[in-house]
Structures are given as C-alpha cells and as structure tokens.
Structure 1
Amino acid sequence: MSEQLLPGYIIRRGSLLERSLLLKFMQRTYQDLFPNDDFSHLEQTVKQYFSSDTPLWWVEEEGEQGEMRETRRISNAPCPIPNAQFPTPNSPIACLWVGNAIDQVHGNRHAHIFILYVVPEHRRRGIGTALMQYVENWAIQRGDRQIGLQVFQSNKPALNLYNQLGYQTQSIWMVKFLSAEK
C-alpha cells in the first residue's frame, strides 16, 4: 500500500524481498560520502539487521493516472501461472530504513534511523524533510519518545537538515584507528 508523501511522490512500505535493493541504496549512500572506499561489508549489515522489526520505506515518483506499469517476473520460484507477470513499482528515488535502539540514559526503546537517502537528482525538493516527518509520526504512533540517528560530521547537508528539524547532539561518537602492526 502506498500513500502520497509530497505532490509528485508516493511512499510505500518495503518488503523483506527487497534486501538487494536496500543494499544498493546503502552502498550508494556511502559511496557518495567516501567514493574511494569498498563497502562490500554492508551486505553483512543488511543480513544481520534487516527484518520485519526494522521497517523500510521507499519513495517513488507518482505516475500518471491510468499509466501502465512495467511488469516482471517476481522470482524464479515455481508459479501456478506459467510466465506470470506482476506489476512492479517505479524505481525508488529515496529510502528510509529504521531500527530500534535503547536510550542509554533512561532505558527506553526508540526508533533509530539506519539510513535516509535521496538520490541526487531529487534532492532539495523536500523529500528528506517529508521522510523525517513521516518517521516521526510513525514513531509517535508506536509510543516512542525520541528518535536517534548517526550522521557523519562531513555530511553538512544532512547535519543542516537534522538541525533545522530540531535534532540535537546528545553524544559524540569517537574512534581511534589502531595499527595491527607490532
């Protein structure tokens, strides 16, 4: 089921069958920020954390009324209807994947944004803001009292968005790179 996110864009709930598409979006997110790095390890992250408890949403461009959608075979699994074709959604232009975390101060479960990504051609159109409002409403409906996320310090557009939406730094994640050599 999909609903309008913004004029011209719909949002739909992703399925567990879209693991490979989620992985592609995650890799694209990191490649945008770190173009010279290898992100093959993200497959393990998706494998470990993507489940029915970690909802995924896709944003797609809204089609014309009555427009025929492309069809494709869903899988190679046996099907009672030979060569059955099913409607496919438009190619997603944004995704939002949310997990659960525990507030280390009060011990309450809360939503944690794993990824929010909008393809470059659709940025600066309000999609990121609309997705953040969408997930905030979702979190409120399920009883969460806060939302957490992690953002790279070098990702200034994302930092600006989150600051404008009222997100505040609660902690600073620090790393020290260690040498394995002795």
Structure 2
Amino acid sequence: MAFLPGYRLQKGTTLDRARLLEFAQRTYRELYPERDFAHLAQTVEQYFSSQTPLWWVEIDDPEVVGEPVACLWLGNAVDQLSGQRHAHIFLIYVAPDHRRKGIASTLVHYAERWARKRGDGQMGLQVFAENSAAIALYEKLGYRPLSWWMIKPF
C-alpha cells in the first residue's frame, strides 16, 4: 500500500506477537533505559488480538524485506465521561533513523481514518510526560490532555 515516498504500510497479523513485543520494549527502553520491561509480554498477551489491529511501516525497497521501521497498534477504550467506545493508540513507534520524515503523523492520520470508518467519535492515547517530542506532535495534530494520571512512588 502507498504510504509515504520510500515507505510502505503492511497490515500485521496475530502471528506478529513477538515483533510487537520487541517494538513495545524499544519504545519504553528509549525513555527509561535502566528499567526492565519483561512485563510488557503480559500486556501484549492480554490485549493483542484480531480486534486490536497492527500495522508495520517498511522501507519500500525489494531488497529490504520484512524489516519494519515503525509500527502502529490500535485498540479500544471507553470514554469515562460519555461511556462511548473509541479507538485508542496502544503503541506508535518509529525507529530513530526514520524520525522527522512524517511517518508518525501519517500513522496517526491513518489511525484516525480507521476510527472514523468504524464510527468512533474520538481517538485516545497515552503519552509519558517525559516524551516531549511525542507530546509536541500530538498537540500539533490537535490532541489535548483530558486528565492527569498521577502516581506517588513509595
């Protein structure tokens, strides 16, 4: 499928569980390199299914087969104010060498089209407060904070 010049979008399958876990761990390790994220295997096991679609971005070159440089994993959430189901971005990841090329923005727009097509009235996501680049991107795309998730370590 045409995606961006030099890249193609490929639909994932439930057989991509190990690769999805690898990409999820990459995402978290970039922000928190000192931590162990083995528990993400449970998250993927619990939430990844045919109802939570996954897409891979690959380099559009016949010499480079099956080596994704980005991914988008979508799921479902329930708006706690309205009670309505809506799409939720579980994971969006772009490899460092492929950032600032429009991949993340294009993936978010793709996710929004997918959500609208199935009748959702909004898209949700979670972003770590330390991830200023992602926050800037989401704000540029029209996303805004709805609540604060607060923790107190002890």
Does residue 26 of structure 1 match 2:24?
Answer: yes
Question: 1:143 aligns to what?
Answer: 119
**C-alpha displacement of 1:90:** 2.5
Unaligned stretches of 5+ in structure 2?
A: none
Taking the aligned partners of 1:13 and 1:175, their CA distance within structure 2 comes to 36
- Provide Cα deviations, 1:51-97, integer angstroms capped at 9, x if missing partner: 0110000000101xxx467xxxxxxxxxxxxxxxxxxx420000000
- SS of the counterpart of 2:52? coil
Give me the identity figure in percent. Answer: 55
Taking the aligned partners of 2:63 and 2:26, their CA distance within structure 1 comes to 29
- Provide Cα deviations, 1:123-181, integer angstroms capped at 9, x if missing partner: 00000000001000010000000000000010000000000000011111111224xxx
- Provide Cα deviations, 1:8-55, integer angstroms capped at 9, x if missing partner: 111111000010000000000000000000000000100011001100
1:53 to 26, 51, 54: 51
Taking the aligned partners of 1:177 and 1:48, their CA distance within structure 2 comes to 26
Question: 1:40 aligns to what?
Answer: 38
Taking the aligned partners of 1:102 and 1:156, their CA distance within structure 2 comes to 26
Unaligned stretches of 5+ in structure 1?
A: 70-88
Question: 1:130 aligns to what?
Answer: 106
Question: 2:78 aligns to what?
Answer: 102
- SS of the counterpart of 2:89? strand
- SS of the counterpart of 1:53? coil
Higher helix share: 2
Taking the aligned partners of 2:82 and 2:43, their CA distance within structure 1 comes to 27
Greater gyration radius: 1
* Total equivalences in the alignment: 154
List structure 1 segments (4+ residues) > 4 angstroms apart after TM superposition.
none
